[in-house]
Structure formats: structure tokens, C-alpha cells
Structure 1
Amino acid sequence: MDEYELQSPMALANFVINFANAEGSPVSNLQLQKILYFIQTAFLVEHGNPIINGNFSRWQYGPVLQEVYSSYRDNGAAEINDLAINVTKDSHDQYMMVSVEPTNEESLGSSEAFTRLQEITRRLIARDPWELVQVSHQQSIWEKYEKQIAVHMAPDYENSEIENEGTEVSYLWE
């Protein structure tokens, strides 16, 4: 496969939200988090490189990208219909609302990688979100930190450990 560009957590989250809505299968924040984690896992397993430029935290219900979680936490368990908007400062220290462009073929820099991203996402949105939570909990890279997770002291996931355990869960997206 061609090389591809790393994507920000929000750009990939916005891609998943748009894609899921277009497929008629809107996602919740919980489901979005697990889909993002398993997309990262798939790209690490298949290509040896991450697709998301961010770290997943170990939380009670599995892996979480905190930036994405924060953007959609007000949705609770409801479906996400609108893309998040980031608040940034401009060159004059003025706050402004900026939408994050969803990952697309151009931003990814590879039509082959974008097609694969679509295939993986389609398979993951078809899965029950609680199945994805359960699968993430069965991984030793979550289980061995269960006590630290309970008290919010677990370290973030390392891409190398996600990749090492990823082949065992590749059935999710194959």
C-alpha cells in the first residue's frame, strides 16, 4: 500500500461520524471511541504504522481518545449527528470556532489507504458497540491495567502493544 499521512483524532472522528451517518448507522460516543481504536489497530497490524496522531487512554469502557471524548461527551449515549467544532485562538489572540475537516482521500494522501479506511469503518460500524468494548477488555493490554484503570492511573496505550495484540482481533474488520 502507498504511504499515508497521519490524521488528527478529530479529523478521523469526523470521518467516522460522516461515514456512519451516510451508511444509515449513526454512532454514539462510546461506539466512536471503539471504532477509532480498532481502525488504529487495523492500520498498525496491516501496515506497521498508525493512522491516528494521538494516544489512546485506558478507561473503564476501553480505549479512549480524550480529545474526541471531550468533544462529544454532551451527547451521552445518543447518536452523534453533528461534527465537533474546535475553539482556537487566531494570531490576534481572539477565540474562533473552527470546524475540523474530516479525513478524506486528499488529506490521507493515498486512495488505496482511503479505500481501506472505508472498508474497515463499514465493518466496524456494523458491530455492536458492546461487543467492541468486550473485545477491548479481553486484550491483555487492558486487563493487566484493570486496577489502575479503576483509579484513573493507567498509562496510555503504546502503538507497539496495540499492534502486537491486534492480530488476535483482526476478525473485527476483515
Structure 2
Amino acid sequence: MAYSALAVANAFIRRAQENKLPGLTPMKLQKLLFYVQSWYYKYRNQPLFDDVFTRWTYGPVIPSIYHEFKGYGASEIKAPGSTIVPRPTRENPFAYEVVVPEINWNDEEAVSFIDEAIRVYGPISGWQLSQMTHQPGTAWAISGPPDGGPISLQTMAENIHPGNA
């Protein structure tokens, strides 16, 4: 079962809070998600999380993650993202709860891929990661113009930046 994109984003944020991931801006988070999803799909033939990347000007973006963290601008993300879920009770059928989605930290495979993405891409700035996604032959570059269209998982897995294969 795939995680939500927000749960995986929060895993990166947790690592940043543990001082294991420097400079985690919204742009850097998007690109780390892109690379971890690409690698996970390439080697496991299934997605790590259940959302779609789209082609935006500065590279691949998950719109829901963009909107969750856009308030940080180019600054570092300080807190995990959250979502509101219905929790109706007999007394209040309209009750809800704010939830911070998380991965299962006992899922060694998922944690391993996240930590490896941090090891490989963590020292690189969000801007540099964005430039990497724009290189000729990458999934973003061959998927068409930056028009918000989707980038398929297959394209992502087959066209990871050549310098990091």
C-alpha cells in the first residue's frame, strides 16, 4: 500500500528537524519527493506514495504539496504538513480532526529509500535540484512543456538524471 505524498513529505521534514537534511525548502522537498518516487518505482515497480507529479516551470511538482508548504516561500520548512479528516461521533456527526500523516517508521524499505535520497540529494540546494530535473533526457524534460500535465511513473523510473543512476 502506498503512503500519501504528505506522509512521505513529513518524513523528509522529520529528518530535517533531526538535523539530517539541511536547507529543506518547499522546492527542495518537491525534488526530493520526485527522486525518491522515481527510484522506488524503478526498483520496486510500485509507487512509494499515491500522488502524481506535474510539469511546472521549475520542475516536477505535486500540486497538493506545493499548496501545503507554499507559505514558506524560499525559506526552510519548520513544521510538518497536516490534513483534516472527518471523525463523526454520535454526539457530533460533523466532527473532524487535524492529522499529521506519517509513514510507518518500521517500514525499513520505505525508510531506507528516504534516507538514501537524503544521502544522495540532501546536500544539494532546491535550486540545483530543480536544474538537475531540467537536464536533457530527464522525465521532466521529455514529458512536454511546463503546462501542468502529468509525468508518468514509468517515465520517471526510466529517465532518472543520468549522473545519479
Q: TM-score, normalised to structure 2's length? A: 0.84
Aligned equivalents of 1:104 and 1:126: distance in 2? 25
Aligned equivalents of 2:109 and 2:151: distance in 1? 27
Q: Number of paired residues?
A: 158
- CA contact 1:45–1:166 (8 Å) conserved in 2: no
Letter in 1 for 2:104: N
Aligned equivalents of 2:69 and 2:39: distance in 1? 24
Shift of 1:134: 1.0
SS of residue in 1 equivalent to 2:48: coil
Partner of 1:18: 14
Q: Which runs of 5+ in 1 are unaligned?
A: none
Aligned equivalents of 1:126 and 1:82: distance in 2? 20
Judge which range, 111-120 or 36-45, deviates more.
111-120
Q: Which runs of 5+ in 2 are unaligned?
A: none
Equivalent runs, 1:145-156 vs 2, <5 Å: 145-146=144-145, 149=146, 152=147, 154-156=148-150
- CA contact 1:61–1:133 (8 Å) conserved in 2: yes
Aligned equivalents of 1:139 and 1:21: distance in 2? 34
Judge which range, 35-44 or 91-100, deviates more.
91-100
Instruction: Give 2:56's match in structure 1, choosing from 56, 59, 82.
Output: 59
Q: 1:62 to 1:167 in 2, by over 3 A?
A: closer
Matched, 1:7 2:8: no
Q: TM-score, normalised to structure 1's length? A: 0.80
Across the aligned residues of Structure 1 and Structure 2, the Cα RMSD in angstroms comes to 2.0
